[in-house]
Amino acid sequence: MKETDKKELPEIYRNLCETAEKMRQNSYAPYSHWTVGAALLAENGEIYAGCNVENAAYTPTCCGERNAFFQAISKGERKFSAIAVCGGNQGKPAASFCSPCGVCRQVMAEFCEKDFCVLLTDGKNVRLYTLEELLPVSFGEELSGRTSYENV
């Protein structure tokens, strides 16, 4: 993990953090009041932003990170280099370094390499992690028993 002032980041990562911070305003979180914005950077430079969307039945709720991933995947993207995440109580400044939940980390592991960069922003400072730091012993394709789609 590395922590830095957002101003010190390369422009693309600064833009990614600011997109996540803005996307947080679109969150639909009437139950937890915890709003999250995420911005996912595909290897081709496209940014896919998402926010958390809650539901009265709770289970259908989707985190901002997965929202961003699923939008990207549905548009055909498969290679990603970084995601920025910003979260906090509704109507308040971002909390310090809201990190992805376990389910979102597992989704990241499905599509990203171990060096995939996860940026947690509080609006001013940013903590940078690799996916491997956040999910060191992940369940992957090799454990699932799926070796190829040829036999499916």
- Which residues would be at the binding site for Zn ion (CB under 5 A)? 63, 101, 104
Check if 65 is active-site: yes
Instruction: Tell me the residue nearest to Zn ion as measured from the CB.
Output: 63
Beta strands in 11-142 (DSSP E): 34-42, 47-51, 80-89, 117-121, 125-130
With H, G, I as helix, E, B as strand and everything else as coil, classify residue 127. Answer: strand
In the bound state with Zn ion, the residue whose beta carbon lies nearer, of 9 and 54, is 54
Round to whole Å and give the CA distance between 77 and 32. 31
21, 54, 65, 132: the catalytic one is 65
Shortest distance, position 104 Cβ to Zn ion, whole Å: 3
Which residue's CB is nearer to Zn ion, number 14 or number 95? Answer: 95
Q: Which amino acid is at 38?
A: A
Question: Please, which residue, 42 or 53, has the CB nearer to Zn ion?
Answer: 53
Closest separation between CB of residue 133 and Zn ion, Å? 17
Q: 50: closest CA among 66, 73, 74? A: 66
Nearest-CA neighbor of 100 among 46, 141, 138?
138
Q: Which residues are catalytic?
A: 65
